[in-house]
A and B are shown apart, each in its own frame.
Chain A
């Protein structure tokens, strides 16, 4: 497999683009691997890549029941940011942000990272105080954050509703300039290609139906393509975490919920940044193709169905109109849903499980996309060394037992509220 470069584009253009090689192989599973990662989304592929690159563990397979990035990697609103303030979260997400900043070069694949900045709007003096505190925590940890008052937000985002009868007037915003968006499919493809190049087998259309056991230890998985043995099995299966954990006899502090996202018909450039509404759960950005990409609340009830209902469509678009009145005549082009592994405190789990041989990367709620690089990096570390890295040492499974929940939003153990 050759490196992608400007020269390779030129050279292949001369031969009519007929000689491009496959981006990754399509191997049959070997009988046995050192490490087997279940789930061929961004997190699973990144884990395999960093296992090979950082820890020289190359006898690795990633198995995926559908196609690469067909789950939540391709079902998000592509936002990346690192504006977290709880100990355990802050430096983990900043590690992710730093990996994002060099990811295209590292993978030799353009993930189209666009650091267009992200505004979290504040709609009350209390929210401004909370934003100031968050910004101070970020800056104390070397992460960029700026606090803007109403006039500065109005100068920068003139299309928001600043009228006198606005239900939730804009008081200001906290802004992270290094935040932005990335092309989500490219993240899956880039990690897959880079992992494959390091010798990782990527096996699609291969679903895990159970585990192989020996003396109470997991020694592999039973799949639709037959049994595959492995020294260590890592789960990175997002919304199916609870389902696959239950097959291993594990009960988790996780519920699966569906989350929708929406894309409008394409517009001329309007929103050159990412905006989060502070009065309702709603966020919006504009894709390179011109469509407005929007997300909102969960459906609110447990669901493994990758589809959402109309009440949330109405709720999200109502928020859009309240925030930016000029969108009122806009039509939706597409709508889809993904299933989220909602943890009881809104924070993830990257840890060994009580079952020997099984490692868990889950509980991402709907913050998984931005975390992709650091999630893979830290999960690879945890699998390779059998202990967590400093940046994921708080993401334990037993933190609920000991009262060390990381509840960034202060919602309590209500998975449909995070």
Chain B
């Protein structure tokens, strides 16, 4: 069981959250016409073995989107911030 420290609700079980996606990935501007940028955005991932930044939705809590730093090999949980406060 992962335990995530939500900045609003405090330490909560993984079952309150829904995993979103890799938080490194950035959607291109809507007027971007280079297909390679859209290809990278939709399909391609770094898939790191180690530190990973990812979106989680505290869907059964404060309903905020969060950016969590977590290690994909050790499952060690790092900093957790509100997604809207993470610089783009």
Contacts and interface: CB of A to CB of B under 8 A. Distances in A.
A256 interface: yes
Given A302-B54, A304-B73, A416-B19, A400 B47 contact: no
A310 B75 CA distance: 14
Contacts of A300: 18-19
Interface in B15-70: 15, 18-19, 22, 35, 39-40, 42-49, 52, 54, 70
A243 B1 contact: no
B50 to A, nearest CB: 8
Given A253-B44, A302-B22, A311 B1 contact: yes
B1 A304 contact: no
A344 interface: yes
A303 B72 contact: yes
The binding surface of chain A is classed by DSSP as: mixed
Measured as residues with beta carbon below 8 angstroms from the partner, the interface class of chain A is: 20 to 34
B72 A305 contact: yes
A304 B72 contact: yes
Given A243-B49, A300-B19, A305 B75 contact: yes
B47 A243 contact: yes
Interface string A103-116: 00000000000000
Given A304-B73, A400-B39, A311 B45 contact: no
Contacts, number: 71
Nearest to A415: B45
Contacts of B45: 242, 251-255, 415
A215 interface: no
A253 B75 contact: no
A303 B47 contact: no
A254 B47 contact: yes
Contacts of B40: 251
Interface string A267-302: 000000000000000000000000000000000111
Contacts of B72: 256, 302-305
B65 to A, nearest CB: 15
B11 interface: no
Contacts of A304: 49, 72-73
A303 B44 contact: no
A246 B19 CA distance: 24
6 contacts: A242-B45, A301-B70, A302-B72, A304-B49, A305-B75, A311-B1
